[in-house]
Amino acid sequence: MRRPRVIAVVLLFAALLLAIPMEMITGSVSAAATNTKQLIDDSVGVLSKKEVKELNELANRYGSEIGINIIGIVTDKDQGTWEVLQDLYAKNNSNEDFSVSNAAVLILNTNHEKIYINVFQKAADHLDDERLSSITDIVADEYGEGRYKAAFQRYIESVYQYVTAGSQAVDSGKNSTVSSMISSTNDGTTFTSTTTTTSSSTSGTTSSTFTSTTTSTTNGTSFTSSSSGESSNGAMNSSNPSMFKKWSDPSYKKGNQLIFDEAKLLTGREYEELQELAKQYSEERKTDMIIYTTNDPLAYDVKRMTQDFYDEYGPGYKMRHGNAIILMVDMTHREIYLAGFYKAKVYFDDDRLDQIRDKIAPYLADKEYKDGFLTYLKTVHKYMGYRPGVNPDNLLLNIWVQLGAALVIGGGIVTLLVYRSGGRVTVDAQTYEDPNSAGLVDYSDQYIRTCTTRTRRYSSSSSSSSSGGGGSGGGGTTSGGHSHSGSRGSF
């Protein structure tokens, strides 16, 4: 009698504990699975089913946001791009699957060890040769190391980033031109194509064999953009004294500088240490973790400064204007701003940025800049290990809280075991009650009065710590068209 009951109690506990988070997990998965198109195809089998599914979800999510079919294909057939696409299109029932309208198509040919990227209509408007070749470089990096999933993931992310990053000047007639040309010819020469060829080194070295890049634009369909989006939107900037212009020179980017201590808050050694850590973390999370400090008397709005810095310097992991999180410290106005771009925007919503800001503001207020920046880097690195939407500071996820809870439950069950070892009372109120005579004979309920109290609703957004000022605003979009999340406060 006793053993099954104990086991049942244990199982019940376990079931209860599992039930809640499991529901969250399955709930989020099923929500993401609705209305997905087939965009990823792997006929060679270098990706696992799970990876294909994940990539497909990612491609759908990003693709639907920018209105472009982000297609990725692995093949080993000796076919041209067009045949591959036609095969796939014919194989699938839905008109949506592998449709080339407004599409970017990546084909990894494992037979030739070649990468083909082709863009159609809207995608062609946004991705010029320069951008395509930079995407090709990124994909080639991963492909060369045999990381197929990463290759696709980076491809999907970069397409998304470039398309959202700002429009190439779009001339309205071009759309129709491209589509008509596609329909007229059938040999795959009508679109912008970038081809990266591998030198076929057969040695076992895993170092990248993707060195030579040839970009060819065929058939006179000129997609070269006449004017850049940044400059056309630049008018919005003009009121600001652009103290970040100096960073716009791409040569700065080569140094992979992540800490910009213009306000000279750090000693040389501290700077080196932080820069080293930032580099390591940025590499691990594939996201540039940037700190920018300024005490320029010309400093203006901290959020605008952050945006302008992003536009000018164009930080991003292995690319310009890519994944980046920026901590802007304005010593002139004693304000800080945190902004997450692209991948960092997904991982750092305004709430998470608020949490980070609350953690570092006290350090900055106490002039412990190094510790503050260290906390920033560590927290950013840690939070990127948590799925977006999950609160990383949730007490239930804390290892010590979990250990404590496990000990309490274990102790509780054991106490119950010891307590019950001598037998227990198994009679209750019903055992001896005479059901025929039990009952309420008479009753009355008299209302006397009602008291009403009211309290002002506590709003969590202005709940920053004592040393951090009120956060307002959140995210936004830079003049260059990069949307970001954000958190702002003083210290």
Site for other proteins in 39-58 (CB under 8 A): 54, 57-58
For other proteins, the binding residue among 13, 169, 250, 483 (CB under 8 A) is 13
* Chain mean position to CA 77: 34
Least Å distance, CB 309 to other proteins, is: 28
Least Å distance, CB 241 to other proteins, is: 40
Per-position x/- string for 457-476, each x denoting binding to other proteins as judged by CB under 8 A, each - no binding: x-------------------
Q: Computed from CA positions of residues 339, 342, 346, 347, in that sequence, does the dihedral angle turn out positive or negative? A: negative
C-alpha span between 106 and 196 (Å, rounded): 12
Do 460 and 358 form a contact (C-beta atoms < 8 A)?
no
Report the residue number, 18 or 236, with the smaller CB distance to other proteins: 18
Residues whose CB falls within 8 Å of the CB of residue 379, separated by 6 or more in sequence, listed in order:
355, 356, 359, 360
Least Å distance, CB 195 to other proteins, is: 29
For other proteins, the binding residue among 8, 11, 12, 18 (CB under 8 A) is 18
Q: Which helix (H) or strand (E) holds 110?
A: none
Place of tokens 């087939």: 38
**Residue 119 has which token pair?**
């863009």
For other proteins, the binding residue among 8, 12, 22, 236 (CB under 8 A) is 22
Least Å distance, CB 383 to other proteins, is: 10
C-alpha span between 362 and 381 (Å, rounded): 20
Do 198 and 114 form a contact (C-beta atoms < 8 A)?
yes
C-alpha span between 191 and 204 (Å, rounded): 35
- Residue 397 DSSP label: G
Widest pairwise Cα distance in the chain: 100
Question: Which region among 83-91, 207-215, 365-373, 446-454 touches other proteins (by CB under 8 A)?
Answer: 446-454
From 423, 418, 352, 361, select the one nearest 384 (Cα to Cα). 352
Q: If binding is defined by CB under 8 A, does position 438 make contact with other proteins?
A: yes
Instruction: Tell which phi-psi region holds residue 178, choosing left (phi > 0), alpha (psi between -120 and 50) or beta.
Output: alpha
Report the residue number, 239 or 452, with the smaller CB distance to other proteins: 452
For other proteins, the binding residue among 12, 25, 33, 169 (CB under 8 A) is 25
Of 377-436, binders to other proteins (CB under 8 A) are 385-388, 390, 392, 396-397, 399, 402-403, 405-407, 409-411, 413-414, 417-418, 421-429, 431-434, 436
Question: Which region among 166-174, 245-253, 258-266, 439-447 touches other proteins (by CB under 8 A)?
Answer: 439-447
Per-position x/- string for 61-100, each x denoting binding to other proteins as judged by CB under 8 A, each - no binding: x---------------------------------------
Question: Which region among 96-104, 161-169, 246-254, 440-448 touches other proteins (by CB under 8 A)?
Answer: 440-448
Report the residue number, 22 or 236, with the smaller CB distance to other proteins: 22
**Residue 153 has which token pair?**
């993931």
C-alpha span between 98 and 126 (Å, rounded): 20
C-alpha span between 5 and 10 (Å, rounded): 9
For other proteins, the binding residue among 6, 12, 33, 169 (CB under 8 A) is 6
For other proteins, the binding residue among 205, 453, 460, 466 (CB under 8 A) is 453
